[in-house]
Structure 1
Amino acid sequence: MAFPPRFKGHRILSIEASSTSTDEPLHTLEFYLDYVCPFSAKLFKTLTKSVIPYIRANPQLASRVQFIFRQQIQPWHPSSTLVHEAALAVQRLAPDHFWSFSAVLFEHQANYFDEKVVNEPRNATYARLAKLAAGAVPGLNEHEIYKLLEIKEAGAEGPKNQGNAVTNDVKTIVKMARLVGVHVTPTVVFNGVVAGEISSSWTEEQWAEWLEKNIV
């Protein structure tokens, strides 16, 4: 699927940014992940700690594949939307840190599970997420993040149900997922086709075997 340029932080090349190669990767791995899904967290950790380093260390693979993080909001966990909005706010202000902030969100995901937010006002959750982002991303201002997330109280004209400053980005990522029919998290898509055999429990060895067969 086409990739909106404004979400550039979601894309990461398997080659290092300092590489002089100008060739586009031949293969694309897309990962549909939800920040409050434990299985998504498990896959993301394996991806960033094992799979990407393995590919970058292998010259035959490194220039041939790119990765795209696809945000997949799971609405049966209401906080999922809020956490994904925080990631979209970071993507807007500091796109180069999107993946690193995603790692922080997964690390702290239990703080946003249903039981942790059930009695918390929405803006209070946003405030916690803004503070987390500011502590994780160098130079990021907590108040600037919060401004993108905050829901304003109704004025004299009454409520307008307009959402916040990243609502339109939420609409876009939801539409993209609906167009390909993704439901379960995590879901891995390889070159436009769901790779149902890939599991969040895969080891580095299983990933290496799969990559050697498919990245050609």
Structure 2
Amino acid sequence: MTLNPKFAAQRLVFGQAPSIAEGIPPAAHTLELFLDYVCPFSAKAFKTVYHEVVPLIKANPKWASSLQIILRQQIQPWHPSSTLVHEAAVAVLRVAPEKYWAFSDALFKDQRSYFDEAVASETRNDTYKRLAKLGATVGVDEKTLYELLEIADKPSDPRNGGNKVTDDLKLQIRYARFVSMHVTPTVVFNSIVDNNISSSWTKEQWEEWLKKNIG
């Protein structure tokens, strides 16, 4: 449930967490969503949670003060573009963290543009350029975003140093490996995987789950 402060924007907080007793620090339930931006089932889960479940939480003072949501970036390396799109999201965390969830929403909506077949004939930097343009649609500075993603084109002097967000991406990957995460989407509630939650869940199913688990 811990989150590196540099990735604070991956967390959605809706209200002040309550304290169960005097002298006990406030604490909220934590719902973690391990999602891959090029996974269709992750896109389905994100759409429901972001556009239907989050408004439900905001409208209920009890839920709003008792629950936080964390989007965990789960890179699936059998899709080479997965790394690239997750790098773009990490770059948004650096450039415009307040746009992170809006960019994630845009990326999921446009995910087919980054499927294997869609990127097969373009260079890595060309994919980054398209991702930077996508960032601009939600208010992220396109030029700054691309500068963080670009790989220096110097075949005569290869350094294999990655780009300016490689180190941040490594932290995302290391956390997922530490908790032995594999399948996307995976939902973790208070540090325990909840395999009952499906990407096909409706707003009503989520509402029942919230009533049962949050009160």
Q: Same fold (TM over 0.5)?
A: yes
What secondary structure does 2:198 align onto? coil
Q: 1:214 and 2:204 equivalent? A: no
What secondary structure does 2:137 align onto? helix
When the two structures are superposed, what TM-score results if normalisation uses the length of structure 1? 0.92
In structure 1, C-alpha distance between the alignment counterparts of 2:92 and 2:63, rounded to whole Å: 30
Task: Name 2:60's counterpart in structure 1.
Answer: 58
When the two structures are superposed, what TM-score results if normalisation uses the length of structure 2? 0.93
CA gap of 1:174–1:214, structure 2 versus 1, over 3 A, is: same
The worse-fitting range, judged by mean Cα deviation, of 23-32 and 97-106 is: 23-32
In structure 2, C-alpha distance between the alignment counterparts of 1:161 and 1:14, rounded to whole Å: 41
In structure 1, C-alpha distance between the alignment counterparts of 2:190 and 2:112, rounded to whole Å: 32
In structure 2, C-alpha distance between the alignment counterparts of 1:103 and 1:205, rounded to whole Å: 21
CA gap of 1:52–1:198, structure 2 versus 1, over 3 A, is: same
Q: 1:28 aligns with which of 5, 30, 38?
A: 30
- Post-superposition CA distance 1:111-140 (Å, at most 9, x none): 000000011100000011111111222xx3
In structure 1, C-alpha distance between the alignment counterparts of 2:43 and 2:146, rounded to whole Å: 24
- Post-superposition CA distance 1:120-170 (Å, at most 9, x none): 100000011111111222xx32111111000002376x2110000000011
Gaps of 5+ in 2: 19-25
Task: Name 1:8's counterpart in structure 2.
Answer: 8
- Post-superposition CA distance 1:82-130 (Å, at most 9, x none): 0011111111011011001100000100000000001110000001111
In structure 1, C-alpha distance between the alignment counterparts of 2:155 and 2:187, rounded to whole Å: 44
In structure 2, C-alpha distance between the alignment counterparts of 1:58 and 1:22, rounded to whole Å: 13
Task: Name 2:126's counterpart in structure 1.
Answer: 124
Report the alpha carbon displacement of residue 191 of structure 1 after superposing the two structures with TM: 0.4
In structure 2, C-alpha distance between the alignment counterparts of 1:211 and 1:142, rounded to whole Å: 38
Q: CA RMSD in A?
A: 1.3
State the number of aligned residues: 208
Q: What letter corresponds to residue 166 of structure 2 in structure 1? A: T
- Post-superposition CA distance 1:156-214 (Å, at most 9, x none): 6x211000000001100000000111101000000001111100000111111111111
What secondary structure does 1:85 align onto? helix
Task: Name 1:41's counterpart in structure 2.
Answer: 43
Task: Name 2:147's counterpart in structure 1.
Answer: 147
Task: Name 1:18's counterpart in structure 2.
Answer: none
Gaps of 5+ in 1: 16-20
In structure 1, C-alpha distance between the alignment counterparts of 2:141 and 2:70, rounded to whole Å: 26
CA contact (8 A) 1:25 1:63 kept: no
Q: What letter corresponds to residue 119 of structure 1 in structure 2? A: S
Task: Name 2:187's counterpart in structure 1.
Answer: 188
